[in-house]
Amino acid sequence: MERSPRNVGIVLFDDFELLDVFGPAELLSRVPGQYVLTYIAPTVGPVRSSQGIEVLATDSLENATTADIALVPGGAGTRGLVDDTAFLAQLASWACPAPLITPVCTGSALLAAAGLLEGYRATSNKRAFSWAASHGADVTWVPQARWVHDRDRWTSSGIAAGMDMTAALIGHLSGEEAAVTAAREIELEVHSDPDWDPFAAHYGLS
């Protein structure tokens, strides 16, 4: 992972959650020369988010080059995709070689369903935690966590938590000063404690 810039492949699918993608993308784009973002989907073309905004995928899962960081968002679209064997096979084939895999929110359910969280600790959106945690055969699901870093997997809680996870990831890869600067530029107050999670209690998970 000494390569710079690092290629961040961001997966899109119908009804993905917009902030899961563009919260992390905003932070990563604030670190000059270190991260190149590519938007990838099952097929090249516009992909509609849960909010109705279309984003152009420039590469397909079948043909995209291996990413240094594979970022998989959550969103309403994950509900159907966890049972879509063709999509899961494409996702696994593309993401597995990546040195780092970083799902946001219920993107962790997709990774678990694709077999990419086996043997790992992981978390997910607290409102949808029970559903997300029903996927994967050997995943240690952590109910109280803002994000979980386990070796080459970084998983986050719901939606906005992806920004905290990304700030921590930037600190890990590019240094704490880069993470602090990126957050300051967008006036984001980052929760730097991965165990800070009031939403787990709210949803009866702790």
Q: Which residues contact 88 (CB under 8 A, 6 or more apart)?
A: 81, 82, 110, 113, 114, 115
Read off the DSSP letter of residue 84. Answer: -
Cis amide leading into 42 (omega within 30): no
Q: Which residues contact 180 (CB under 8 A, 6 or more apart)?
A: 171
Instruction: Please provide residue 149's backbone torsions phi and psi, each rounded to the nearest 5 degrees.
Output: -110, 115
Catalytic residue selected from 105, 113, 117, 200: 105
3-state secondary structure of 148: strand
Q: Which residues contact 194 (CB under 8 A, 6 or more apart)?
A: 145, 146, 147, 148, 149, 168
3-state secondary structure of 150: strand
Distance CA 79, CA 95 (A): 19
Half-sphere exposure of 100 (CA within 13 A, CB side): 21
Is 96 tagged catalytic? no
Please list the active-site residues.
105
